[in-house]
Amino acid sequence: MGGQYRITGDRYPRMRRPRRRGRLVVMAVASVAVLGVGGWGTLQLIDVFTGGGDSASAAGTKAACADRASRTAAPKALPAPGTIKVNVLNATTRSGLAQKTADELKKRGFKIGEVTNATKEYDKKVKGTGVLLGPAAALDTSLPVLGAQLAGAERRTDPARKGGEVDLIIGDGFRALTKKADADKALAVLAEPKPAPTSKKNC
């Protein structure tokens, strides 16, 4: 072409596509928003399943732990030896064993009832150190106190039994009552038990 529309030079104009910076910015912002919402949702799920962030739940857990500790550490109301009447029964073939044992229990403050041979139900049938027998109410009261005097004795209750008396039935394995000093220590532990260890995770 000539005239005023003549093209000069050896380079031709190139057509360029419009830049997509605007679209890239929008995509980046959207990605950040999605990640943020996902992270927040994950934290909420963790709080739901672990109890984190739930002040009421945390307060309830602390209160429960405190209550458990107070109940565990609370001293037990055990009867004094002087309020426990003991019948001493000999289920062995060794004579004089019941009286000797009854005399020692009396020195330790117990009231003594019958001192005689065991009934047919137990006579020559107790292989261990002895059997402590009483009413159902004595299981957590009188029997533990008497049990401190004879380590290893079996504890039994008779629901049909009336009154508060308990029996100490001497068995073939009996040699002597527990030493008084050791029995006193056992009673002290029963009266003031140490609090059980609590889990650090829960309390």
Domain count, the chain: 1
- The amino acid at residue 192 is E
> Is residue 28 domain-resident?
no
Beta strands in the chain (DSSP E): 85-90, 111-117, 130-134, 154-157, 166-170
Mean pLDDT in order along the chain per 10 residues (203 residues): 54 55 60 56 54 50 56 69 98 97 98 98 97 96 97 95 95 97 95 64 58
Model confidence pTM above 0.95: no
What is the per-residue pLDDT for 52? 53
Contact 194, 115 (CB under 8 A): no
> Is residue 177 domain-resident?
yes
| CB-facing half-sphere around the CA of 2: CA atoms within 13 A | 0
Tell me the three state secondary structure of residue 85. Answer: strand
Label the pairing between strands 130-134 and 111-117: unpaired
* 136-148: burial string, b at 16+ Cβ within 10 Å, e else: eebeebbbbbbbb
In 52-141, alpha helices (H): 55-73, 97-107
What is the per-residue pLDDT for 191? 87
Cα–Cα distance for residue pair 185/182, rounded to 1 Å: 5
Structural domain containing residue 131: 91-189
> Is residue 45 domain-resident?
no
> Is residue 167 domain-resident?
yes
Cα–Cα distance for residue pair 167/89, rounded to 1 Å: 7
Backbone angles phi, psi at 155, to 5 degrees: -105, 130
> Is residue 98 domain-resident?
yes
Tokens 């910076």 sit at which residue? 21
What is the per-residue pLDDT for 117? 98
Tokens 């008396």 sit at which residue? 165
> Is residue 156 domain-resident?
yes
> Is residue 109 domain-resident?
yes
DSSP assigned state of 5: G
> Is residue 175 domain-resident?
yes
Tell me the three state secondary structure of residue 84. Answer: coil
Angle at 146 between CA 151 and CA 79, to 5 degrees: 140
| CB-facing half-sphere around the CA of 41: CA atoms within 13 A | 6
What is the per-residue pLDDT for 195? 61
